[in-house]
Amino acid sequence: MTKIIANPFTLTALLLAIVAAVGCNKSDTTAMNATPAKGPAPAKVVVPKTNSVWEPDPGWAGELTQTVTFDKYQLSAPKNLTVDREGTKREGPFNHFAWGIDSGTDVPKVVLLAAITEDAKLLAEARKDMKQALVNFTAGIANPFGLQPRRTTQPEKGSLGGMPFTRYKWNAVTKTRTRLEGLSYGGIDGDRSVLFVALCFGQDADASLALVQAVIATLEKKSDS
C-alpha cells in the first residue's frame, strides 16, 4: 500500500525586498509618521545536493515529499511518482512492486521496480555472487522489451537502511532509439533478497537517474516492522 503526502515539488528562488524610507521635511510630526525602512527579506537556506549513494541526501529532502511503502520497507519519493498497479503483483518466486513518473508521452520518464524473494535457491545465489544475481535479474526485466543492458560502472558495495547492498549503473537503447539509463541494486535482509531496477528514459535521463538514486538512498524498514 502506498501512502502519499502531498507537498509542492518546487525549487524556490531567493527574493530580496528592499523598501526605502520616506523622508519628509514639512514637520517633525510628519517625519515621525513616515514608514521606517525595511531590511532585505530573510534568505531561504538552500541545502546543496551531494548525490549521496548510500545515505539520504539532505539536498533532495524538499523534493522527496511522499512516503512510499511496500512490504515492510519505505522510501521517500517525489509526489509525481505513482503506483503502477499492473506491475505490482506476485510473479514466480518474486513479489514485485512498481512505480513510475509520467512524461506526457508514450514513453515514461521513470520506471522504478522493486522485487522481494525468500526463495532459498535465489537467496543462496545472491549471497554467493550478488553481481551475477543482479545481472540476471536486470536482464529478466529488460530483455522481454528488447533491451540489452550494458553495465557502465563497476559494482559497488554499501549499506541501505542497515542492509548490505550492491549496485551498478547500466544503459540501453529502446527499439525507437530512445535513450535509457538504468540502475540496479541488490541487497540481503535476513532470509530475503531485495532488488531494485530503475529505468530512466529520454534526454533528461541523467537528471532522472540522480533523482531515483536519491529515492533509493532513503530506503529503510517501516517503524512497525
Enter the pTM of the model: 0.78
The Cβ of residue 121 has, within 10 Å, a number of other Cβ atoms equal to 9
The Cβ of residue 208 has, within 10 Å, a number of other Cβ atoms equal to 20
Task: Give per-residue pLDDT as tens, 86-111.
Answer: 889 999 999 999 999 999 888 899 99
pLDDT at 50: 84
Instruction: Count Cα atoms within 13 angstroms, Cβ side, for 152.
Output: 11
Task: Give per-residue pLDDT as tens, 23-73.
Answer: 333 334 333 344 555 666 666 667 788 888 999 999 999 999 999 999 999
Most confident region among 2-11, 138-147, 163-172 by mean pLDDT: 163-172
Domains of the chain, CATH where assigned: 58-221 (3.40.1000.10)
Task: Give per-residue pLDDT as tens, 197-218.
Answer: 999 999 999 999 999 999 999 9
Q: Rounded to an integer, what distance in angstroms lies between the CA atom of residue 4 and that of residue 222?
A: 15
Using DSSP's 3-state secondary structure scheme, residue 125 falls into helix
pLDDT at 167: 97
* DSSP 8-state symbol, 85: T
Q: Rounded to an integer, what distance in angstroms lies between the CA atom of residue 161 and that of residue 4?
A: 21
| 181-202 burial: b if 16+ Cβ within 10 Å, else e | bbbbbbbbbeebbbbbbbbbbb
Q: Does residue 225 surpass a pLDDT of 90?
A: no
pLDDT at 106: 84
